[in-house]
Amino acid sequence: MKIAVAKGDGIGEEIMQAVLRIFNAAKVPLEYVPVEMGKYIYDRGHSTGMTAEAKNTIELLGILFKGPMETPKGKGVKSINVTARKVWNTYANKRNFKSLTGVESVFSKAGIPINITIIRENIEDTYGGIEHKLTPDVALCRRFVTRPGSLQVHRYAFETARRKGAHKVTCGHKANIMKMTDGIFLETFYETAKDFPDISANDVIVDDLAMKLVVKPNEFDILVLPNLQGDIISDLCAGLVGGLGFAPSANIGDNISIFEAVHGTAPDIAGKNIANPTALLMSGIMMLRHIGLNESAAKIENALLCTLEQGIHTSDFGKAGTTSLNTTEYADAIINNIGNLPHEAAPTMAVAQDKLTHKPPVKPAGNIMKESRTQKEEILGVDFFIESNEQPRQVARKFLDVISSDFELLLISNRGTQVWPTGSIFTECIDQYQVRVLSRDDKPVSQEDILREAVKTAGHFKICSLEMLMNYDGVKSFSLAQGQ
């Protein structure tokens, strides 16, 4: 079977070479097709960070194994790592965090084992990177959380729990504050849980989750979170087990999947043959299981566990006063342990014989539309986001003079806090207001009605943006302002 391989930037070439040597020594039945991606491709004038040939190869094969990649700073280009995940709809980021013998952490010293799997929504949230300067002082980032996307990642989380033999899935969120976006994520979590009655489902607010992970990480098994929160909590969990050097990562999609180390490119040590390839090796082990090579995965994982038990390490970890090996020597030590089983840690047992289950993706005729239709939708009004350095009462007076009799001015807020018709004189304002205009008696209006009001408003204010106030199936679907 052929898979696409991108060496990456910085230490990427060294650690990828080490991992593929281990795979070859274990007689993994794969053929590696090199593809060009990363900073050096940006520098050659490819704004996406990958060549057209690389894109075509990955879409043909369906599996990408990649080293760490750097995005040039200050050039207005998107991260190649995020772009790859989004373009190929790898909707679930899976990271395993497990205590390893020979890798010391606060919890290993205390005898507290950790075995946490984080499933992070991977393509929505603020990672859309859709940002605008609305005024010289105000920047806006749009945060998208969708029902189809949330259902997709939750189902993968519960399926992962079944494969792992876990009994509980915990949803981390901030739905107490972001009631619409994280509200969708939490609602669809419990909706999905109904299809998995054998697995317990609970939720925890993300800041409380961070505290509990630091205090009692052994109480968690499978965690599922939105994109940004999942990114932060993933790095926290890496710190619990020894750092990003021991944090494997998979980006799972229905057609294309990406396996990578999530640590940086470490340009300060690139070319010195001292980098630690463990995270990339563990990501490769995840990849082997994903494509059905369970025996090969178990053989290599046991060799790694044996090597760590023997106290063999690179310079970034291990007991003080012991000799560090370089990248090549470390890989050789793992190769020498192929066929051996660990003694302190429980040996990894293959759940099935090697049988390639991955099938190359079938190219669809067009972009797949994932949607969830409501029975009835109505427009009830509009939020105008306007630029002004006037006092709230002056803004209100101008709006009251121009809006038609079919609408009423409900409130004005600044940075999400109500400043009209009521508010506090101590609320400090910036030069952008949110002005909410609703139809009288909640009577549905048309988009054309809203745009006519916008034209009249534009005669008095710069409209930075506007959002329709929607009613879906009889439920008002817009947030209140603080203090309303």
Looking at residue 76, what is its pLDDT? 63
Percent of the chain predicted with pLDDT > 70: 99
Q: What is the pLDDT of residues 62-88, one digit of tens each?
A: 999 999 998 777 556 678 888 899 899
Looking at residue 215, what is its pLDDT? 94
Looking at residue 484, what is its pLDDT? 66
Q: Is the pLDDT of residue 264 over 80?
A: yes
φ/ψ region of 384 (left if φ > 0, alpha if ψ in -120 to 50, else beta) reads beta
Mean pLDDT of all residues in 35-39: 92
Looking at residue 297, what is its pLDDT? 97
Q: What is the pLDDT of residues 159-208, one digit of tens each?
A: 999 999 999 999 999 999 999 999 999 999 999 999 999 999 999 999 99
Looking at residue 321, what is its pLDDT? 84
What span, in angstroms and rounded, lies between the C-alpha atoms of 20 and 93?
23
User: 359 is written with which tokens?
Assistant: 């099938």
Least confident window among 63-77, 101-115, 330-344: 63-77
Looking at residue 374, what is its pLDDT? 72
Looking at residue 351, what is its pLDDT? 81
Q: Is the pLDDT of residue 233 over 80?
A: yes
Looking at residue 82, what is its pLDDT? 86
Residue 271 · residue 240 · CB < 8 Å: no
Q: Is the pLDDT of residue 20 over 80?
A: yes
Looking at residue 292, what is its pLDDT? 95
Burial status of residue 104 (CB atoms within 10 A of its CB: 0-12, 13-18, 19 or more): middle
Looking at residue 80, what is its pLDDT? 85
CB atoms within 10 A of CB 435: 26
Q: Is the pLDDT of residue 281 over 90?
A: yes
- Mean pLDDT estimate for the chain: 94
Residue/partner pairs of 244-247 with CB below 8 Å, 24 or more apart: 244/279, 245/276, 245/278, 245/279, 245/316, 245/317, 246/100, 246/103, 246/278, 246/279, 246/282, 247/95, 247/96, 247/97, 247/279, 247/282
Least confident window among 27-41, 300-314, 343-357, 383-397: 343-357
Mean pLDDT of all residues in 125-132: 89
What is this structure's pTM? Answer: 0.92
Q: Which band of pLDDT confidence, cut at 50, 70 and 90, is reported for residue 339?
A: very high
Looking at residue 383, what is its pLDDT? 97
Q: What is the pLDDT of residues 448-484, one digit of tens each?
A: 999 999 999 999 999 999 999 999 998 889 988 776 6
Q: Which domains does the chain have, with CATH numbers?
A: 1-90+253-372 (3.40.718.10), 92-249 (3.40.718.10), 377-476 (3.30.70.1570)
Residue 393 · residue 368 · CB < 8 Å: no
Looking at residue 218, what is its pLDDT? 92
Looking at residue 54, what is its pLDDT? 94
